[in-house]
Structure 1
């Protein structure tokens, strides 16, 4: 098992807060991480997709009263939304007994569904942690091409062959479309949602054009928004917002859209091997999305990601606003030539960036002038990880 960076984040959160909600898509490794935590603590684990474990909580307060002093781990907690009110009472009761932290670890696969269920009941009592797929600094730089091709879902990344990996991802997509999404309530035909997801894959990293998507699917723009909201809520698609601070420029206002896991992107497009990927028109957008997700995952908790583009052509692939109020400007290029355009320098000046970085495919750090540096992806990840724990500024 690869060491997961999220483990320390969760342990730190449990040391400071009564409840922690661990969010992430199915099969990303949440249960494995929770069982690892269970092995290190006095705890009890329940999987609420199992009828037997749900029956244990028919009278939740009676059961949870007996677990006072233990870490209670509830997997797929969105299956029992009525439980959140009981958890609030349990947390408040334990606080009166002097037990203020490390009471509940809640795991869920649908981010906004779970957030809506828990936000009101557990306000001020919970911290949210998102668990991404396997990351570059977890598997090693020598595995970069494999991670890019197969994506970070552990079973896909560790499959015996590229063919076995692609088969796993195709099954994953089918399960989400035919079982998991209908279980959440939306009545969306699986074939329609698959076509929509594939259309997003073909436009990886492009500006959202809802009108073109609606015309291609024969639905309304409002329906496109609903489909996109669903995939964003499930943490399978990222809707990257444009930088919105007033810089006195005409800014692009549409978001950019990415399939978050590169392996799922390639499965949607039927790309099995590195050779087929490199020869495909989406290769550039795929690399950009892979780097972007890697960098966002490495950024300190509370960082806000954006992109920047003006109508005059000044552009940055990623702008990170860190919790300490620093602004990092990042351009991503799949090239070994460490060069940036005039538009990069204009954009970094517009937003008054504190750090100016070109993430490129070379192996060395190279100064580019005007405070900018060209850096390999792994070196940029290391630099972002070093910002963890810096003080927040309002």
Structure 2
């Protein structure tokens, strides 16, 4: 089993909060990490139809069957339990009483907001990051094309499942089980087409009108379906950075996938060679780098601080990392550095008046170095640089 970076944070939070909730994409490793970190806890899965029926029909009796510390897997199956869990933790006042997991974005759930506000820590577990994958034999020898094509789901790396076998099954399970529970979508074929159209817009500023038109649905339906994909950890939005700057900046978000392997599959890419010449290779590489930043934040229990920058003259910087001094990061998939990659550096420094070290570049090559005082990071070194 590949050790997850979230481990120590989960242990710490279980000493501070009565409930710890682990949320994230289906098959990102939530159950595995919960069982590993809290191996002395009772465990119950609401995926089991008999157990789920008991929880629905007799929630008090269900919870009385687990008087000790307990992991409740897939809590979104029976959200009504949350009110009863609230009563228990308020009465018992025991830290780490419940560990909950869910494959829907529980931050979007009114039940959690109402019932467990102030009582639960929420950790998001995404698929494996590069540092975790370094534990896997051979990772340091693969190209970024192979890494992007494979994606980061634990089953692919732990169990050596081929992407061509994993992702079709993953998509089928997601659509048949998760989507129907989030929203009553009747035309699943059109919804599948919609997901593929989203993959074709990976790394791009989202245009709901164009997306709806191509899918043959209304703009309101497109908005609803985007929300479904966000709630179930298929896609996320990278919002523009415009704090303390003029209104000339674009305020529409960009669309990315939580896993590059799934995005590549949806694009019809069948191997790393096809990816090498694909028109969206740059967008997928950008997606990968953004994901590494996001995983670092989430593994530390922090909210995202990642944005992008684009003004009304189409000057764009791929990534802004917010902080006391915001950092600008340009992302280029090319494997050979060229000074043209830094053409936005002067614009950034002139517009913001920040210091030169606030701008850096990550590219698809292996070498890292400084160019005229600007930090240039190869894609592997960038991942290590985050740790």
Relative to the length of structure 2, the TM-score reads 0.89
Q: Which residue of 2 aligns with 1:359?
A: 362
- Aligned partner (choices 165, 168, 181) of residue 167 of structure 1: 165
Aligned partners of 2:10 and 2:29: how far apart in 1?
13
Q: Which residue of 1 aligns with 2:126?
A: 132
Single out whichever of 301-310 and 356-365 deviates more from structure 2.
Answer: 356-365
Aligned residues: 373
- The structural deviation recorded for 1:167 is 2.1
Contact 2:126 2:258 in 1 (8 A): no
Distance 1:368 1:16 in 2: 46
Inter-CA distance 36–188: structure 2 relative to 1 (3 Å threshold): same
More off after superposition, 254-263 vs 344-353: 344-353
Offset at residue 115 of structure 1 (A): 3.3
Partner of 1:391: none
Does residue 362 of structure 2 align to residue 368 of structure 1? no
Distance in 2, Cα, partners of 1:107 & 1:126 = 12
Aligned to 1:302: 303
Partner of 2:77: 79
1:328 paired residue number: 327
Q: How many Å separate the matches in 1 of 2:14 and 2:51?
A: 23
- Output one character per residue of 1:184-241: Cα deviation in whole Å (capped at 9) or x when no partner: 2332411111111111111211111111112112222111111111101111111111
Equivalent pair of 1:23/1:109 in contact (CA under 8 Å): yes
**1:380 alignment counterpart:** 382
SS in 1 for 2:27: coil
Residue 357 of structure 1 deviates from its aligned partner by 2.0
Matches of 1:310 and 1:38, distance apart in 2: 48
Shift in alpha-carbon separation, 1:306–1:20, aligned structure 2, 3 A: same
Instruction: Select which of 120, 145, 162 maps to 2:114.
Output: 120
**In structure 2, C-alpha distance between the alignment counterparts of 1:342 and 1:281, rounded to whole Å:** 22
Q: SS where residue 251 of structure 2 aligns?
A: coil
The aligned residue for residue 275 of structure 1 is 273
| Structure-2 change in CA distance of 1:232 and 1:331 (3 Å) | same
Matched, 1:211 2:238: no
Q: 2: distance between equivalents of 1:290 and 1:303? A: 15
CA-based RMSD: 2.3
Structure with the bigger RCO (C-alpha within 8 Å, sep 6+) is: 2
Q: 1:215 to 1:65 in 2, by over 3 A?
A: closer
Which range moves more in the overlay, 12-21 or 118-127? 12-21
- For the residue of structure 2 that corresponds to 1:152, the secondary structure is coil
3-state DSSP class of the match of 1:193?
helix
Q: Is the 8 A contact 1:156 1:169 kept in 2?
A: no
CA distance in 2 between partners of 1:261 and 1:202 (Å): 14
Alpha-carbon contact 1:237-1:258 (below 8 Å) kept: yes
* Cα distance per residue 1:123-177 (max 9 Å; x no partner): 111111110101110011515634311111122345647xx32122011112212
Give the gaps of 5 or more residues in structure 2: none
TM-score, structure 1 normalization: 0.87
User: Could you tell me whether the CA contact under 8 Å between 2:197 and 2:215 is conserved in 1?
Assistant: no
Residues 330-380 of structure 1: CA distance to partner in whole angstroms, max 9, x if unpaired? 11111230533332332355354773221112333322346x311123433
Match of 1:392 in 2: none
53 and 345 in structure 1: CA distance in 2 versus 1, 3 angstrom threshold: farther
SS of 1:5's equivalent in the other structure is coil
SS at match of 1:254: coil
Match of 2:241 among 217, 240, 243: 243
Instruction: Write the distance in 2 (CA, Å) between the matches of 1:114 and 1:46.
Output: 24
Taking the TM superposition and a 5 Å limit, the aligned residue runs for 1:27-42 are 27-39=27-39, 42=40
How far, CA to CA, are the matches of 1:321 and 1:310 in structure 2? 17
Tell me how far apart the structure 2 counterparts of residues 381 and 241 of structure 1 sit (CA, whole Å): 22
State the secondary structure of the residue aligned to 2:117. coil
